[in-house]
Amino acid sequence: MKKRINKQAITLTLDTVYYLFPKAFRYKPSYFLLAALDIILSIIHPFINIFFPKFLIDELIGNMNLKLIITYLIVLVLGNIGLSYLLSIISTAMSNIDDLFERYFNQQLSLHVMKMKFEYTEDPQILDGLQRAKTGMDWYSGGVGGIVGCIKNIISSFVILVGVISVLALKAPLVLVVIVLFVFLISVFEAKRNNVGLKYYDQLSKMNRGFDYVFSQLSDFKYGKDIRLYNAEEMMVNKANQYNKDLSEIFHKEADELFRYDFVKNMFSGVYDGIIYIYIGLLALTKMITIGDFTMLLTSSQNFNGSLQSIIGGIQDIYKRCRYAHEYVAFMKNFSCLEKGKKKVQETKQHTIEFKNVSFRYPRSEEYALENISICIHSNEKLSIVGANGAGKTTFIKLLCGLYPVTEGEILLDGTNISEYDSAKYMKLFSVVFQDFKLFTFSLKENICLNKEVNQNRLDFLTERLGLKNKVASLPNGFNTSIYKSFDECGFEPSGGEQQKIAIARAWYLESPFAILDEPTASLDPMAEHEIYQNFNDLTENKMVIYISHRLSSCQFCDSIAVFDHGRIVESGTHEQLRSYNGIYRKMFDQQAKYYN
Amino acid sequence: MSYKKSSEITKEYSIFSNILFVLKQVYRNQKAFVPMMVIQAIVGTFITFIWLFLSKIVIDQVTNNVSVSSFIYSLIFIVIAEIILMEVDSFLNFQNWWRIIHARMSFIPLRMKKLLNMDYENLEIPAVLDLSQRAEKATEGNSDGVEGFLRSIQGLFTSTCKIIMSITIISFLNPLILGFILILAVISYIITDRTKKMDKIKTWDTLSEKFREQGYIAGVEQDFSYAKDIRVFNLSEYLLDKHKKIDSEIHDKISESKKRWLKATGLNQIAALFQEGIIYIWLIYNVLYKSLSIGNFTLYLGTIRTFFNTVGSLLSNIANLRLQSRQINDFRNFLAFGKEGGGKEVPQQNQYVFEFKNVSFKYPGQDTYALKNLSLTISSGTRLAVVGLNGAGKSTFIKLLCGLYTPSEGRIYLNGIDINTFSKESYYALFAPVFQDIEVFAFPLSENISMKIPEKTNEAKAIEAAEKVGLKDKLHSLPNGIASQMLKIFHDDGIDLSGGEKQKLALARALYKDAPVIILDEPTSALDPLAEYQVYTNFDQIIGAKSAIYISHRLASTRFCDTIALFSDGILKEYDTHENLIRKKGEYYQLFEVQAQYYRNQEQKQS
């Protein structure tokens, strides 16, 4: 069992290193050169303090050769200070690159999230994985810098250890026996202590997931109204106190348990120190070694202890860090991008989209969200989709846009299966206003034009038609005013209705042949909704339009209507046809109409 | 009450007063912390000096040729003392390690309580939000704010102990050398302090906004709810370019700061060069010409080095303390902000009549009225519909009624008593609202319905509420029923609810609360017509004799209501029954017609 853990720890560490280091090396090769330099200097440094004070003291007691004394002194003082300055230059240069690495890997993560298959973004477990990848990489592991730092430490400590042991063995050979015994005891002991550490570390990493939630989100302003009116403050504070108590209890238990180990360890190292001092002291007392040698051995022995601890700590640390960083590695390796077809979309004005016996099941779901859908949509056609919540309307749109691949059947664009097209080019055919569209805290202009060229005439036209003209005129910087105040004091907070209008403008700006509107007027007041309906035909000229709405009033300016129910198209036809047919559409329409009479 | 700048709500406390404040709060939760900290400082000092004395004693004994047995005895004595000190130190270290974290975290609920208790309208003032955010910062990290402050205090104790010890030893040698060391220490403090100030002004102050921007962009990229838009609008390169641009701006600033610190380190190293050189020369001179023993040579060398290092860390402790004290200021200012509750209980009655008398309301910092001169009476058991265009003042009206906002002018009365005289808590108890943005908390389902701590949650009542709003099937499908944990934050098998289920959960909350007034703010905008109809008819039965207020854009859904209040530009324009308002052919009529035409035309075509 223990062996398995160790083996797993090694694979995990290697996996992380194999993934991160080549990437880091390609990005900034100089970093590894700096690390090598750092190791060499860190090895030299302690030996200056081991050898030169000895020379100095021996000279002071012995020949008192002033010239030699001054030489030793200069080497000692300049060497110490010069080396530590060099080391700080290197560490500054390295930490500069650490910062670059951190940004680079975060950018890669962003890119990965933006490029991975859409279906992953709707999986809560992958969301959790993303959270762990983010925090694992920059908080706990310290990223590449943190891991390299660990390795650096282990290597230099190891060389120092070997050097120090040689010094001790040369002058006081019997010390070797004590050292071997001590190292053996300590490593057996540390292995046990390490398991305790890991046990609590597991518990804590589970607790940590909730930290931000408990201490930050529970008192978030956006819950302010509910918490006050439901008088739920006690519940929130109670949770925070409980969490604090639980967390402290783990820390407390860990501290107690670790102290039990450290108590014995302190005994060990105290006794070890005692034996060494008495031994080398006796050597000095019996004139086997000089006083200079004595101080040298004393410093060596201290360095021995320090290096040993830092190797042991380093090995534990590197595993911990890699384990956290591995969350990132796993995330980056696991979720693939959309596969790219090769075909280009034909540059014609007329397109046809056909669903042929399409069925679809969400990943991790056993039920079909769409079943056996067959429908053909042509350019210039305006289709309205209606149906109850969960009937499959939005799923239909997601398939149409290529966000999800179909489970069965096929979707054809101009006779070719859409999976054969280059997906980015295919998506360019669509301008979509999703139900849960998102605006950015950029300027109004950027929100509408996004990464497309700015065409002022079109901007003016769209804002006028969507009833935003007066709003734009009232803004301090017109189109250049930021949306939201987060980064611009003059920014404006658009109302829900204005947000919807901006989202529509953004979609329309694209001038793509297919337009899709998913519940675009849900938060508009009746007047604004009416205005948009009025301008609908102007805005959608020559386009294929798919319109999803619960307000059946919108169906009347569409050429045809498809009624979805439980993942199937159950009725289709014009408004008049469906009104005369005694089905779901008629029931829904009557339900809404009855209050308007 | 309009706070435009945070300076208007902040006060400076002295470092000393902050130390008292923090230690007092710590004492409440961790009585043992302060005594342990003091003992640790003393023990730590002894450990440092025992090493120095050890080599002195050995060297002295070697040069004096003492007997082997007395040599061994003295060493054994020192080693035992060392072991004991190390055990005590290690024990205190472990104890303080968890206690300091516990102490810091016990400050967080203070901030939460304040935030959850302060007047709701304050939450919309940027300066207050800013202060709250800074107060949060003060309780966040291990090296900032409260915890950093405690560590600095601890460091201060230890440094002081070590300095006293070093001074005692060095003064045996020569007080002049003390003065010399002090001057060098002050020089290096000045260098560090100046760099810190420059760094703050030139780098970190200019960066704070960039950090937020960077956080925003990276947040958007990695936020799954943006995934659809990013793909369909093909924004990944566009966003990543922005990300890279801002990253490189930040990086440039940060490397500037690193260069600054490297320069400071260089200057400090030069100072250290002088210090080391002069101390060595002076000590060697003493050995050579003043017959200083080698034992004392090593002792003094060690002591002076310790002293120098300790003065350095003392000064940086003080600098940190000053910085952290500012964060404690933020925390205290936040706790001291605004007035505390108070007011009397709302008397229990069968009838609750609310009356608005010439009520006007302006948002803090704004010039225009969100609501103007509103007079209106809501009698017990009414069903009131609130309609109007976006931004007409509907939600302001609701927030005023609930007591979340206080009128800028005019008064609101409950059964003839000004609602300002009631305690917020007992007034809030009158309302059960269902707002648009519904939040599920990482608690069991039962507590999500009761919104109370477990001891005060009545599970049977929660089940009843859940069943009434149509969550019965859901409840049966959950392995732990009403006790099921929501969200996956603490429990891997936590439950995520769909949008429709969340809406039902919110309705169940309102039912459980069983308050005299129910408020529904566009609760059905995302529901299809049939589901919407169901909610309204069901709820109408459930509400029974209570008062209910509906806000909706769908005028059809307000036909259940006895009275309709139409707001326009912050003014109550029309207030009457549906039939009367239609007859009046005013704004309500227009609004209604705009929606109705799509249905009406059809009807006419048909007939």
pLDDT digits 0-9 by tens, B252-278? 999 999 999 999 989 988 988 888 888
From the list A118, A121, A522, which residue is nearest B525 (CB)? A522
What DSSP string runs through A177-208?
HHHHHHHHHHHHHHHHHHHHHHHHHHHHHHHH
Which whole-number Å values give the CA distances from A415 to A174, A340, A584, B232, in the listed order?
Answer: 87, 19, 32, 22
pLDDT digits 0-9 by tens, B92-114? 999 999 999 899 989 999 988 88
- Closest to B110 (Cα-Cα) out of B423, B337, B429: B337
Distance from CA of A292 to the nearest CA of B (A): 10
Residue B477 vs residue A538, higher pLDDT: B477
| List of chain B residues whose C-beta atoms are within 8 Å of the C-beta of residue A278 | 72, 75-76
Tell me the average pLDDT of chain A: 86
Tell me, yes or no, if A263 comes closer than 8 A to chain B by beta carbon: yes
pLDDT digits 0-9 by tens, B21-47? 999 999 988 888 999 999 999 999 999
The pLDDT-based confidence of B527 (bands split at 50, 70, 90) is low
pLDDT digits 0-9 by tens, B455-478? 999 999 999 999 888 888 889 988
The pLDDT-based confidence of A1 (bands split at 50, 70, 90) is very low
CB contact under 8 A, A496 and B390: yes
Distance of CA B571 to the CA centre of its chain: 37
Complex ipTM value: 0.85
Contact A94, A24 (CB under 8 A): no
- Residue at token pair 């991008």: A337
Mean pLDDT throughout A460-474? 88
3-state secondary structure A526-564: HHHHHHHHHHHHHHCCCCEEEEECCCHHHHHHCCEEEEE
Contact A20, A144 (CB under 8 A): yes
Q: Which of B72, B74, B231 should be substituted to probe chain A, the one whose Cβ sees the most A Cβ atoms within 10 Å?
A: B231
What pLDDT, on a 0 to 100 scale, did the predictor assign at position B67?
86
Which whole-number Å values give the CA distances from B188 to A498, A509, B198, B479, in the listed order?
Answer: 58, 61, 15, 66
pLDDT of A538 higher than 70: yes
What pLDDT, on a 0 to 100 scale, did the predictor assign at position A150?
93
What pLDDT, on a 0 to 100 scale, did the predictor assign at position A559?
86
What type of residue sits at position A503? A
pLDDT of A469 higher than 60: yes
pLDDT of B118 higher than 90: no
pLDDT of B499 higher than 80: no
Alpha-carbon distance B434 to B449, whole Å? Answer: 12
Mean pLDDT throughout A516-520? 83
What type of residue sits at position A348? T
The model's pTM: 0.81
The pLDDT-based confidence of B170 (bands split at 50, 70, 90) is confident
* Cβ atoms within 10 Å, residue A150: 23
The pLDDT-based confidence of B605 (bands split at 50, 70, 90) is very low
Distance from CA of B164 to the nearest CA of A (A): 26
Contact B294, A60 (CB under 8 A): yes
From the list A111, A281, A403, which residue is nearest B58 (CB)? A281
pLDDT digits 0-9 by tens, A146-158? 999 999 999 999 9
What pLDDT, on a 0 to 100 scale, did the predictor assign at position B253?
92
Q: Which of A27, A114, A220, A345 should be substituted to probe chain B, the one whose Cβ sees the most B Cβ atoms within 10 Å?
A: A114
The pLDDT-based confidence of A316 (bands split at 50, 70, 90) is confident
What pLDDT, on a 0 to 100 scale, did the predictor assign at position A210?
75
Tell me, yes or no, if A78 comes closer than 8 A to chain B by beta carbon: yes
- Phi first, then psi, for residue A450 (nearest 5°) are 50, -130
From the list A109, A277, A526, which residue is nearest B54 (CB)? A277
pLDDT digits 0-9 by tens, A488-499? 777 787 877 788
Share of chain A above pLDDT 90, in %: 32
| List of chain A residues whose C-beta atoms are within 8 Å of the C-beta of residue B591 | 525-527
| List of chain B residues whose C-beta atoms are within 8 Å of the C-beta of residue A510 | 233
- Phi first, then psi, for residue A113 (nearest 5°) are -65, -40
pLDDT of B310 higher than 80: yes
CB contact under 8 A, A389 and B500: yes
Mean pLDDT throughout B540-552? 83
CB contact under 8 A, B232 and A430: yes
Distance from CA of B387 to the nearest CA of A (A): 9
What pLDDT, on a 0 to 100 scale, did the predictor assign at position B520?
87
What DSSP string runs through B424-479?
HHHHHTTEEEE-SS----SSBHHHHHH-S-GGG--HHHHHHHHHHTT-HHHHHHST
Tell me the average pLDDT of chain B: 86
The pair of structure tokens assigned to B50 is 């025992």
CB contact under 8 A, A80 and B451: no
What pLDDT, on a 0 to 100 scale, did the predictor assign at position B607?
38
CB contact under 8 A, A118 and B255: no
pLDDT of A2 higher than 60: no
Mean pLDDT throughout A261-269? 89
Tell me, yes or no, if A348 comes closer than 8 A to chain B by beta carbon: no
pLDDT of B411 higher than 90: yes
From the list B61, B63, B298, which residue is nearest A295 (CB)? B298
Tell me, yes or no, if A473 comes closer than 8 A to chain B by beta carbon: no
The pLDDT-based confidence of B367 (bands split at 50, 70, 90) is confident
List A residues 128-147 in contact with B (Cβ-Cβ < 8 A).
Answer: 128, 130, 134
CB contact under 8 A, A595 and B72: no
Q: Which of A92, A97, A123, A230 should be substituted to probe chain B, the one whose Cβ sees the most B Cβ atoms within 10 Å?
A: A230
What pLDDT, on a 0 to 100 scale, did the predictor assign at position A338?
64
The lowest-confidence range among A12-16, A353-357, B64-68, B145-149 is: B64-68
Which whole-number Å values give the CA distances from A35 to A42, A96, A156, A162, in the listed order?
Answer: 10, 13, 11, 20
What pLDDT, on a 0 to 100 scale, did the predictor assign at position B2?
44
Contact A308, A2 (CB under 8 A): no
The lowest-confidence range among A63-72, B406-415, B488-497 is: B488-497
Distance from CA of A582 to the nearest CA of B (A): 14
| List of chain A residues whose C-beta atoms are within 8 Å of the C-beta of residue B221 | 110-111, 113-114
What pLDDT, on a 0 to 100 scale, did the predictor assign at position B340?
61
pLDDT of A142 higher than 90: no
What type of residue sits at position B219? G
Tell me, yes or no, if A281 comes closer than 8 A to chain B by beta carbon: yes
Residue A311 vs residue A588, higher pLDDT: A311
What pLDDT, on a 0 to 100 scale, did the predictor assign at position A523?
66
The pLDDT-based confidence of A124 (bands split at 50, 70, 90) is confident
Side by side, the strands of the sheet bearing A368-378 are A368-378, A352-361, A408-413, A416-417
Q: Which residue of A has its CA nearest to B69?
A: A282
| List of chain B residues whose C-beta atoms are within 8 Å of the C-beta of residue A92 | 258-259, 261-262
Alpha-carbon distance B462 to B508, whole Å? Answer: 8
Beta-bridge mates of residue A337 = A116
CB contact under 8 A, A575 and B602: yes
CB contact under 8 A, B232 and A267: no
pLDDT of B129 higher than 90: no
Distance of CA B542 to the CA centre of its chain: 38
The pLDDT-based confidence of B355 (bands split at 50, 70, 90) is very high
What DSSP string runs through A448-510?
HHTTSPP-HHHHHHHHHHTT-HHHHHHSTTGGGSBBSSSS-TT-B---HHHHHHHHHHHHHHT
Residue B412 vs residue A190, higher pLDDT: B412
The pair of structure tokens assigned to A181 is 């015994």
Distance from CA of A584 to the nearest CA of B (A): 10
The pair of structure tokens assigned to A399 is 């398939």
Tell me, yes or no, if A236 comes closer than 8 A to chain B by beta carbon: yes
pLDDT of A215 higher than 80: no
Distance from CA of A374 to the nearest CA of B (A): 23
Mean pLDDT throughout A14-26? 94
What pLDDT, on a 0 to 100 scale, did the predictor assign at position B4?
47
| List of chain B residues whose C-beta atoms are within 8 Å of the C-beta of residue A252 | 98, 102
Mean pLDDT throughout A268-288? 89
CB contact under 8 A, A525 and B390: yes
Tell me, yes or no, if A266 comes closer than 8 A to chain B by beta carbon: yes
From the list A60, A266, A432, which residue is nearest B287 (CB)? A60
Mean pLDDT throughout A446-456? 90
Alpha-carbon distance B329 to B306, whole Å? Answer: 33
Q: Which residues contact B40 (CB under 8 A, 6 or more apart)?
A: B89, B92, B93, B96, B154, B157, B158
